[in-house]
Structure 1
Amino acid sequence: MSEHYAALGLKSDATLSDIKKAFRQKASQFHPDRNSDPDAPARFREVQEAYDVLSDDDKRKAYDDNRRRNLLDDPAQTAREIWQGYFQQVLNRT
């Protein structure tokens, strides 16, 4: 499961204004025309997908509900996925 809030660098209580601002910043940062990094197109698509979900009220509600359900169903697996995503981001920045 993709972590859309992390892709935009936001917490789950972010407002629509926060989401739009973060999207503009990240999209500009990872846009393939501006960023020659080989990972830029994939990161740009990830940011675009996150924005598409989080900016739509119905999609965001379904995403948040699914996130909560996953945390309750298998918290250990969820924690592993969160840590793997975090370390992947840390390693990509160095």
Structure 2
Amino acid sequence: MGVHELGSQSARTDTGAVVRSAGRETLRIDYRGRTMPVPVDQGLGSLGVYLPRAPRWEDGEPVAVDDLAVVREAVVEVLRFWGFDTEFLELDG
């Protein structure tokens, strides 16, 4: 998957998923016209990315399994592009 920088804090993958920094503790993922805010916790050279067991788009719709796979891969690729390792952590909500 290729990553294309859109700005200093946003990048798009070849799948069309856009990952943006939305502050120190949040990423925003845009994919197929939908948005998902994702909490993060920055460590030394890595980011902990928190996803709920049943993730939902910002509009409340559940994220399809196929879309979630694309989103997760996009997050990993963009964070690698930005120089971070990724660790996914599960939220109870």
The structure with the largest alpha-carbon Rg is 1
TM-score by length of 2: 0.34
Give the structure with the higher percent helix: 1
TM-score by length of 1: 0.34
